[in-house]
Amino acid sequence: MSNGENWLPAKREARLAAAQNWIAVLKDQTDNPWNIPAAEQSALGTLSDGAQALLEQVQSSARTPVIVAECKAEFEALASKMRFVKNRYFLSPPLTAADFISLWLHPKDTTRTPVPAPESQAEADITLPGVHLLTLHLKAVSGSPPDPHRADYGYRIYFGVLSPDGSKRGLTAAPVSGEELPHSRFTRRKTEAFDFSAEDRGKTVYFCIRYENAKGKSGPWGPIFSAIIP
Same domain, residue pair 126 and 224: yes
Q: Is residue 1 part of a domain?
A: no
Q: Does any domain span residue 4?
A: no
Same domain, residue pair 139 and 93: no
d(CA 88, CA 104): 17
DSSP letters for 117-170: PP---EEEEEEEEETTEEEEEEEEPTTPPP--TTT--EEEEEEEEB-TT-GGG-
Among 145, 128, 125, which Cα is nearest to 223's?
A: 125
Q: Are 222 and 209 in contact (CB under 8 A)?
A: yes
Domain containing residue 200: 122-228
* Contact of 133 with 29, CB cutoff 8 Å: no
Same domain, 68 and 23: yes
**Residue 134 sits in the same domain as residue 56:** no
Is residue 185, in this structure, part of any structural domain at all? yes
**Residues 28, 95 within the same domain:** yes
Q: Mapping DSSP to helix (H, G, I), strand (E, B) and coil, where does residue 44 land?
A: helix
Q: Taking all residues of the chain, what is their mean pLDDT, rounded to a whole number?
A: 88
Stretch among 135-144, 198-207, 210-219 having the lowest mean pLDDT: 210-219
Contact of 76 with 175, CB cutoff 8 Å: no
Domain assignment present for residue 117? The answer is no
Residues 142, 90 within the same domain: no
> Do residues 211 and 141 share a domain?
yes
pLDDT for 122 equals 95
Domain membership of residue 6 (yes or no) is: no
pLDDT digits (tens, 9 = 90+) for 73-116: 999 999 999 999 988 888 766 688 888 888 888 776 666 667 78
| 89 and 134 both lie in a single domain | no
Q: Which residues contact 64 (CB under 8 A, 6 or more apart)?
A: none
Domain assignment present for 18: yes
The pLDDT of residue 1: 36
Check whether residue 222 and residue 165 sit in a common domain: yes
Confirm whether pTM is higher than 0.75. no
Q: Do residues 144 and 95 share a domain?
A: no
- Number of independent structural domains in the chain: 2
The stretch 113-130 carries a mean pLDDT of 90
Instruction: Say yes or no: 127 and 196 in one domain.
Output: yes
CATH of the domain at 138: 2.60.40.10
Buried b (16+ CB within 10 A) or exposed e, 103-119: bebeeeeeeeeeeeebe
**Does a structural domain hold residue 218?**
yes
Band (pLDDT 50/70/90 cuts) for residue 3 is very low
Nearest to 103 by CA among 191, 34, 13: 34
Note whether 83 and 48 are same-domain residues.
yes
